[in-house]
Amino acid sequence: MNVMAKAEKKISSAFIYFFGSFGGILFGYDIGVMTGALPFLQADWHLENAASLVGWITSAVMFGAIFGGALAGQLSDKFGRRKMILMSAIVFVVFSVLSGVSPDMGEASAYYLIIVRMLLGLAVGAASALVPAYMSEMAPAKARGRLSGLNQTMIVSGMLLSYVVDFLLKDLPGEWAWRLMLGLAAVPALILFLGVLRLPESPRFLLRKGDEAQARKVLSYIRKNPAEIDQELASIKETAKEERQANQKTSWSTLFSGKYRYLVIAGVGVAAFQQFQGANAIFYYIPLIVQKATGQAASSNLMWPIVQGVILVVGSLVYMWIADKFNRRTLLMVGGAVMGLSFTLPAVINWMMPNMNPMTIVVFLCIYVAFYSFTWAPLTWVLVGEIFPLAIRGRASGLASSFNWIGSWLVGLIFPIMTASMPQEAVFAIFGIICILGVIFVKTCVPETRGHTLEEIEEQGTNHGRVKASNPEN
């Protein structure tokens, strides 16, 4: 026991924050890897004219993630954030390898890969739910936006890594290229597993389970001021005491009770809008988008994903610089407005100028990605990590993650079908309208959380529920 304690004392806050957010690498790698693998897979398995099958192969991970997010969120309330992240890494290793060794059995191969990628999605969805919750519970209120933004930096770094790997492997024989692209996802998963082995559990989870001594020890790793530790412990204990006094047993129906409804709708709504706005249509299909615009083969357009990846990484760094300088709502509304215009203007320009340069749409997509990268992309996960009260955080984070993945799955599934039946400009204009609806949702339904402790945010939601209850006409 003493040896273990001494080992734990060596854990630095930088190590905790780095590996606490490293799960985003897995999330990002598997979002991005199919972008480069798909053209080779299509050619190898002769799927060029099978839009629905291509959509299912691409979106299968997101379909599995719908359930992985909800399941991991619920189990993390029972077993802890750390243990569930470890389990997710193991699942990720196994099914990444199985994706890379898919048998070549004609059409049956596609169904095998769809099933394996659905199971892989369980781990991806779990990571998307667990990492923001863990990071928000470890980070101090004044730096929570910036540190939680590490998750987004990890996600987009994982995407960029997958794009670079795709580009480096593109000259291999087609049947080898896509297999290695998919199978190499096991490497960051193994790194995550080894790193998380040394991570401590969340202090809020420990205190909820009655282990105050260990919770204090963990806080001592990441808080420099003893008075700050005492104040934070007291605040968490007060919240836990109120929960015990109420003898509350949380269930899915609890999430939408009067006390929590406002915050749950806000968090889940932002998570859903992030995906229905269509960002992943770009990330999954940019080579095919460029192919349709220019006529060049998709497999020769693998530099474009790297361009998008660089924009995403730079944007995530910009966000970490401005995260705690601007209100969350302001960034979401400004970003959503520009994103909406970036999607709708190509359709307007094409209507006014039918001979528009086909690459114009790609330029506007880059503008969209730039603003998405430092607004909706990171802030969604920051809000999901900080807006839900402790009593329901695991379930609510899982629900938000699941709605996020429902949007991601549907976009991945229907985009190739939509572009096969209508002009690309019209498809993106539809997503642009959804972006504007997202701005309206943020303005009317989302509270400001910057600079507030998690307990203050909970009180804000509780007070809103009381106001609604006493003024039902509002």
User: How does DSSP classify residue 140?
Assistant: -
d(CA 120, CA 109): 16
Q: What is the percent of the chain with per-residue pLDDT over 90, rounded to a whole number?
A: 25
Highest mean pLDDT among 23-27, 135-139, 172-176, 183-187: 183-187
Give dist(CA 53, CA 49) in Å, integer. 9
pLDDT category of residue 80 using cuts at 50, 70 and 90: confident
pLDDT for position 76: 84
Any idea which of 41-50, 146-155, 465-474 has the lowest mean pLDDT? 465-474
pLDDT surpassing 50 at residue 25: yes
pLDDT of residue 387: 85
Better-predicted residue by pLDDT, 227 or 67: 67
| Mean pLDDT on 148-169 | 85
What pLDDT does residue 330 have?
A: 93
Supply the pTM of this predicted model: 0.77
- What is the pLDDT at residue 69? 74
Mean pLDDT for 125-149 is: 73
pLDDT band at 473 (very low <50, low <70, confident <90, very high): very low
Cα gap 315→368, rounded to integer Å? 11
Instruction: Give pLDDT, residue 147.
Output: 65
417 closest CA partner among 52, 21, 18:
52
pLDDT band at residue 274 under the 50/70/90 scheme: very high
The per-residue pLDDT for range 307-344, each reduced to its tens digit, is 899 999 999 889 888 877 888 899 999 999 999 999 99
Q: pLDDT confidence of 90, banded at 50, 70, 90?
A: very high
Mean pLDDT value across the chain: 82
Dist. CA 442–CA 110, nearest whole Å = 40
CA distance 151 to 22: 7
Does position 367 have pLDDT exceeding 70, yes or no? yes
Nearest to 36 by CA among 237, 358, 286: 286
Distance between CA atoms of 215 and 207, rounded to whole angstroms? Answer: 6
| Per-residue pLDDT reduced to its tens digit, 431-462 | 999 999 999 999 998 888 877 776 777 777 66
Which pair of tokens denotes residue 172? Answer: 């291999």
Q: What is the pLDDT of residue 260?
A: 83
- The band of 408, judged by pLDDT with boundaries at 50, 70 and 90, is confident
Q: List % helix, strand, coil for the chain (3-state, nearest 5).
A: 80, 0, 20
> What's the pLDDT tens digit per position in 216-272?
888 888 777 777 788 878 877 776 666 555 445 667 777 877 778 888 999 999 999
Can you tell me the distance from the alpha carbon of 215 to that of 204, in angstroms, rounded to the nearest whole number? 7
**Cα separation of 86 and 201, whole Å?**
12
Which position has the higher pLDDT, 281 or 144?
A: 281
**Statement: residue 2 has pLDDT above 60:** no
Tell me the CATH class for 16-470: mainly alpha
Q: What pLDDT shows up at residue 311?
A: 93
Q: How far is CA 426 from the centre of its chain?
A: 26
Give residue 5's pLDDT. Answer: 42
Greatest C-alpha distance within the chain = 74
Q: Do the beta carbons of residue 343 and residue 201 sit within 8 Å?
A: no
Cα of first residue to Cα of last residue in the chain, in angstroms, is 57
Residue 474 has pLDDT above 50, yes or no: no
d(CA 369, CA 360): 14
Task: Grade residue 112 by pLDDT with cuts at 50, 70 and 90.
Answer: very high
pLDDT of residue 3: 38
Question: Alpha-carbon distance 373 to 307, whole Å?
Answer: 13
The domain limits of the chain are 16-470
Q: How many CB atoms lie within 10 A of CB 51?
A: 18
Grouping H, G, I as helix, E, B as strand and the rest as coil, residue 325 is coil
Q: What is the pLDDT of residue 18?
A: 83
- How far is residue 398's CA from residue 39's CA, in Å, rounded to a whole number? 33
